[in-house]
Amino acid sequence: MNIITETNDQRLDIYRLQKDGPLRQEGKIIVDSARVVERLLKTPIQLKKLLASEAFITKNRDLLEWHPAAEINSCSPEIMTSIVGHRIHSGVIAIAERPSDTPLEQLGSRIIFLNGVNNAENVGAIIRNGLAFGAPSIIADGLSCSPFVRRSIRVSMGAIFKMKSFHCQLALPCLKELKQLGYQIFTASLNEFSCDLRSVEFPKKAVLVIGCEGDGIQAEVEAFADQAIHIPMAGGIDSLNAAVASGIFLHAMMGSPAETF
């Protein structure tokens, strides 16, 4: 274990990163908060570096032994406080390898497809909903926030570590491949052709496309989908937060037979 005693120690630089671009290029992710880091340590994902209090390191010594090649660093609470996001990371930050994409043909029978969902907190909450409601596969297009952005991982409470994921630049070509693999495509959208969610029986292989709250789902994606579906609402409300809506849609999907979760 290395003890860091200066706030300007270059070993702290990587823990201060807030943007995903440099991490993505290096094939790494940042994971923070004690509970989420503990969940990371229990997975096969390779830990690269850890910055934590001596108390956390002592408590999780057995888990850290599963990652013998990792660089373990400790510092004082004062130095930890100097790192951006201290109130969020709660004194523990990990750098780990970035999980590779799962090939489309190896994703599960229930897939969440993010089409322009660029809010990291929404993405994290959608991931957690997906794992809870039997859809442990997620695809993010080039307009969406990656499921491995620091904030998304934290909001998902580490659920992304149990998910299969895939990234694509353009939504439509990817959805065409999925349809060729036998999936039916459903868009979470309200339009003149959409069906009441309560009347839908989902097939064994289904993709749920979720769009951003502002612009919604791309027109070409809606036109290509097998069916648009909506949640019936009262009180003059016609839309919900993307993460909240995803939970309702995914719970309904869980009630229909799937090939495998």
Token readout for 100 is 């590779």
Residue 261 pLDDT more than 50? no
Token readout for 157 is 């409470």
Q: Is residue 134 part of a domain?
A: yes
Q: Looking at the structure, do residues 246 and 156 belong to the same domain, yes or no?
A: yes
CATH number of residue 135's parent domain: 3.40.1280.10
Residue 252 pLDDT more than 50? yes
Residue 260 pLDDT more than 60? no
Token readout for 256 is 């229909």
Q: Looking at the structure, do residues 90 and 112 belong to the same domain, yes or no?
A: no
pLDDT band at residue 14 under the 50/70/90 scheme: confident
Q: Which amino acid is at 37?
A: V
> Which segments of 18-170 does DSSP mark as H helices, in order?
20-26, 34-41, 54-59, 61-64, 77-81, 86-89, 120-132, 150-155
pLDDT band at residue 88 under the 50/70/90 scheme: low
Q: Is residue 261 part of a domain?
A: no
CATH number of residue 24's parent domain: 3.30.1330.30
Domain count, the chain: 2
Residue 258 pLDDT more than 80? no
Provide the mean pLDDT of the chain.
Answer: 91
Q: Looking at the structure, do residues 160 and 249 belong to the same domain, yes or no?
A: yes
**In the predicted model, what is the mean pLDDT of residues 29-35?**
93
Q: Range of 28's domain?
A: 2-97
Burial category of 159 from C-beta neighbours within 10 Å (exposed 0-12, middle 13-18, buried 19 and up) = buried
**In the predicted model, what is the mean pLDDT of residues 230-256?**
89
Q: Is residue 155 part of a domain?
A: yes
What's the predicted TM-score (pTM) here? 0.91
90-148 tens-digit pLDDT: 779 999 999 999 999 999 999 999 999 999 999 999 999 999 999 999 999 999 999 99
Q: Looking at the structure, do residues 135 and 26 belong to the same domain, yes or no?
A: no
